[in-house]
A and B are shown apart, each in its own frame.
Chain A
Amino acid sequence: MRYSGFRVIAEALTGHKGWKPVWRDPAPQAEYDYIIIGGGGHGLATAYYLAKEFGQARIAVLEKGYLGGGNVGRNTTIIRSNYLLDGNEPFYEFSLKLWEGLEQDFNYNAMVSQRGIINLIHTDAQRDAFTRRANAMILHGADAEMLSREDVRKLYPWLNFDNARFPIKGAIAQRRGGTVRHDAVAWGYARGADMRGVDLIQNCEVTGMRIVGGRIQGVETSRGYIGAKKVGVAVAGSSSKVMAHAGMRLPIESHVLQAFVSEGLKPLIDGVMTFGAGHFYVSQSDKGGLVFGGDIDGYNSYAQRGNLPVIEDVAEGGMALMPAIGRVRLLRTWGGIMDMSMDGSPIIDKTHIEGLYFNGGWCYGGFKATPASGWCFAHLLANDRSHETAKAYRFDRFLKGLMIDEKGQGATPNLH
């Protein structure tokens, strides 16, 4: 069923009786060519592109809960490609280009809104580092601008310019950055994959992997054994748990990241903004809520909930930057589990087990990567070699000293 404005009008006039299920609920088959473990954004995108772009069939996505219930359903919806390093920037720029055509591609309005992102500058050293980054972005074909303090003041005159502990000295801007309605991304990919014959199997938890002679045979699940020629794991947050079924230890720790939304407000913030002197970033949803976040809680956790100090720290950053939001109320908090990797960058790679592939380590940057991650993982699964933009995301980069460490924090996941 194709979605369009005409369809919406036609259905409205006939009582919405014609809308079909956006996906089936198939029973698992005995065997597939491809099993994708994880029905979050990355897993669904992988299945979608595997079917659509790489011409593959007999694909299943196994999801232990509900589709889109992972971090694609609990994030701050930001997209951008403002990375510094050669290993990252081409990938995120590829992702941003896919975002730009996504809705037409999967015929679902995910509300891709290129409202621009600015990262505020508070020191000369930050300006130097951001200039280096802006130039790197442009060299990679992305867009970047440097804004002066006055440029920022024109955008948001009500920020704290005159009584700030850390004065605003400018910003790096990427106009093509912005936000996307996060749930719609999962649903759009799920619908597109289902339409192409992919079996999306919910409430199906993988409990084991059958590996014989160094080759994957299939997976044990809460709904029985399912055979597979190739298995791709895309379960960021739970990567260590799932890969332990294959006896693997990963360069990843699981950490909780809290995020926040305020009560709905009339438009206040047009774009996305990050505060360079505290842990705070913010945008405003189309519904009107301020969507914001800060640092991870900082200790290993699978609890999907955080603690009070981070909530206070984020609010302090918000008030330091925006003294006018003191009477705005925090409505909801939530916590997601992040795959914090050892250099802050992801992994999309084969494993030492034939037929078993891994996609994870997204830290808290996985949402913006969803389209390219799906595409590149599908490429790897279908062709057994890395996509050009993801070739740095190898397991062995740590052994070889080829880390992709944007923040320069080293093997300390909670600092990335």
Chain B
Amino acid sequence: MIIHHPILGPRDAQEFVYLGDAGLINRPDGMTAGIEAFHDYAYNRDNPAGEHRELWYHEQGDRSWLVVTRNTVTHEIKKVELARDVARAQGRSK
């Protein structure tokens, strides 16, 4: 596969390490959320057959974490964003 890195352009997927569903960005706050919320965050997945927003890390590159929107049936990639931008857009800060 080829991932179009928003900064570096097309890169072979072999340069990246895959983590999983981009929902992993939405970590609950440990001081307010309990075991149930963390359980759902850490363990449950939508796992769709179709469009999937997922985290890839450019380990053999610039160390960016990316959110890649990819179809899990066709492997077509629709969109690639910097995970940091996605996280900020979702209201994450410090």
Question: Is A–B contact present in the complex under a CB 8 A cutoff?
Answer: yes
Interface: A413 (CB within 8 A): yes
Q: Is B72's CB under 8 angstroms from A303's CB? A: yes
Q: Which of A238, A250, A298, A301 has a CB less than 8 Å from the CB of B45?
A: A250
* Contact mask for chain A residues 242-255; partner B; CB cutoff 8 A; 1 contact, 0 none: 00000001111110
Complex CA distance for A251 and B43, rounded to whole angstroms = 5
Q: Is A240's CB under 8 angstroms from B18's CB? A: no
Q: Is B47's CB under 8 angstroms from A411's CB? A: no
Q: Is B18's CB under 8 angstroms from A254's CB? A: no
Interface: A334 (CB within 8 A): no
Residue of A nearest to B17 (CB): A298
Q: Which of A240, A307, A412, A413 has a CB less than 8 Å from the CB of B1?
A: A307
- Residues of A near B47 (CB, < 8 A) are 240, 249-250, 252-254, 300
Interface residues of A in 363-416 (CB under 8 A from B): 398-399, 411-414
- Residues of B near A251 (CB, < 8 A) are 43-45
Interface: B46 (CB within 8 A): yes
| Nearest chain B CB to A15 CB, angstrom units | 47
Complex CA distance for A31 and B40, rounded to whole angstroms = 35
Query: With A303-B73, A412-B19 given, is the CB distance from A342 to B43 under 8 Å?
Result: yes
Complex CA distance for A257 and B41, rounded to whole angstroms = 25
Interface residues of A in 210-262 (CB under 8 A from B): 238, 240-241, 249-254
Q: Is A241's CB under 8 angstroms from B54's CB? A: no
Q: Is B19's CB under 8 angstroms from A411's CB? A: no
Interface: B79 (CB within 8 A): no
Interface residues of B in 43-77 (CB under 8 A from A): 43-49, 52, 54, 70, 72-75
- Residues of A near B52 (CB, < 8 A) are 300
Give chain B's interface secondary structure class: mixed
Complex CA distance for A294 and B57, rounded to whole angstroms = 22
- Residues of B near A309 (CB, < 8 A) are 13-14
Complex CA distance for A309 and B44, rounded to whole angstroms = 29
Complex CA distance for A241 and B50, rounded to whole angstroms = 11
Q: Which of B1, B35, B72 has a CB less than 8 Å from the CB of A300?
A: B72
Q: Which of B13, B49, B70 has a CB less than 8 Å from the CB of A241?
A: B49
Interface: A302 (CB within 8 A): yes
Q: Is B42's CB under 8 angstroms from A302's CB? A: no
Q: Which of A301, A398, A413 has a CB less than 8 Å from the CB of B20?
A: A413
| Nearest chain B CB to A147 CB, angstrom units | 34
Q: Is A299's CB under 8 angstroms from B46's CB? A: no
- Residues of B near A302 (CB, < 8 A) are 49, 72-73
Interface residues of B in 1-31 (CB under 8 A from A): 1, 13-14, 18-21
Q: Which of A238, A249, A299, A398 has a CB less than 8 Å from the CB of B18?
A: A299
Q: Is A299's CB under 8 angstroms from B54's CB? A: yes
- Residues of B near A342 (CB, < 8 A) are 42-43
| Nearest chain B CB to A43 CB, angstrom units | 19
Complex CA distance for A249 and B44, rounded to whole angstroms = 6
- Residues of A near B18 (CB, < 8 A) are 298-299, 414
- Residues of B near A241 (CB, < 8 A) are 49
Complex CA distance for A412 and B48, rounded to whole angstroms = 17
Max chain A CB contacts within 10 Å: which of B35, B45, B54?
B45
Q: Is A300's CB under 8 angstroms from B20's CB? A: yes
Query: With A251-B45, A252-B45, A414-B20 given, is the CB distance from A301 to B39 under 8 Å?
Result: no
Q: Is A301's CB under 8 angstroms from B75's CB? A: yes
| Nearest chain B CB to A250 CB, angstrom units | 7
Complex CA distance for A52 and B36, rounded to whole angstroms = 40
Complex CA distance for A301 and B49, rounded to whole angstroms = 8
- Residues of B near A252 (CB, < 8 A) are 45, 47
Residue of A nearest to B54 (CB): A300
| Nearest chain A CB to B83 CB, angstrom units | 16
- Residues of B near A398 (CB, < 8 A) are 39, 42-43
Q: Which of B13, B36, B43, B72 has a CB less than 8 Å from the CB of A301?
A: B72
- Residues of A near B21 (CB, < 8 A) are 253, 300
Query: With A254-B72, A303-B75, A399-B39 given, is the CB distance from A249 to B46 under 8 Å?
Result: yes
10 CB < 8 A contacts A-B: A240-B45, A250-B44, A253-B47, A300-B20, A300-B21, A302-B49, A303-B73, A303-B75, A398-B43, A411-B43
Known: A254-B72, A398-B42, A414-B18. 11 other contacts (CB 8 A): A249-B46, A250-B47, A254-B47, A299-B13, A301-B72, A303-B74, A307-B13, A398-B39, A398-B43, A399-B35, A399-B36
**A-B complex: 10 closest residue pairs judged by Cβ atoms:** A240-B47, A251-B43, A302-B49, A249-B44, A398-B43, A299-B18, A342-B43, A411-B42, A399-B39, A300-B72
